[in-house]
Structure 1
């Protein structure tokens, strides 16, 4: 039997995917010329976990450096203006520490333990079942890398076949809980593709899939 599970706190309206109330939309879109997919993904994960609201994140007039969010924005200055060189998993963990003592709980960015694709996929599904989004790193065919947020998965007879993503590189969805898909395995359990680039990524508005490798992954928990 084929099943699809998404984070239990997610809801969907004609405006998009939200948490709590319909104005608290999760999806954020990065600029066309920046490399800030990592910080965008972290912010989406924090909205999902009720650590931040969309209003807080998008109100650029409220950047008091004494607040947690203000310190987050200030910490982004450690990178170049457009974050052109991108971010690594340790950068996102460092940025998340701004919220480690949040009133709603201690925020922790946990590196997944598995080093191979099958193990990571299993851990991602377990995290989603527990209500935790996972920031996933993707290494592209031909070079370059990207970050997105895993918010769901598809499984066939207990074999996880696809990871459902909120991807900051594409338009926000309003007819599903995700705007991109990472195909990781076939129904028979074989990896989707042979070789190092064993996954396929496709997204809303893109006409073709792209081979990629599932790399670093950060589970965002609030305790």
Structure 2
């Protein structure tokens, strides 16, 4: 009968913690990149300039209809062929940030479309420019309306980050692979990783629910 043995934590516990810290760093940077690029692309898709709309549409369609692993390998193995050199960590952040921006684009765009024209008319009557209206009224309302969907995408970002080990980034999954190779205890290690991701995503969901209660609005 198989017996659980977690003695490896005494020797490799710090490595696992370092991997989790790396995951948090990757996810934090990707969150920023994904939100900024996603917002820009959502605005471009709403632009009156046709070429900008086409560019944003092609950008989103390519990213949403290709596997993230292929995108990651393209950045890591393909770009150096063009003379563009990046390390594994930077590549993981850039690739995952760009990938999640496509999902965020559609979510934020749906929030923009949900904002009533009354807000535009009222802000115009108060003397605000189009840019000020967008910055002070439309975007804040759009983000509030899209908050739940953005949180879901953020959770998916956390889970997808586990793929980054495939380009030698030693995040949570990467550290687990190394420890498995050294200890031959895959069941215990991957069980711990499963629980870690579950706890992490549960904490995010719990905090998101509290925040959503504070910022919920009805149009």
The TM-score by the shorter chain falls in which range?
under 0.3
- Which has the larger Rg? 2
Higher relative contact order (CA 8 A, sep 6+): 2
Q: Which has the higher helix share?
A: 2
TM (normalized to structure 2)? 0.24
Structure with the higher fraction of residues in strand conformation? 1
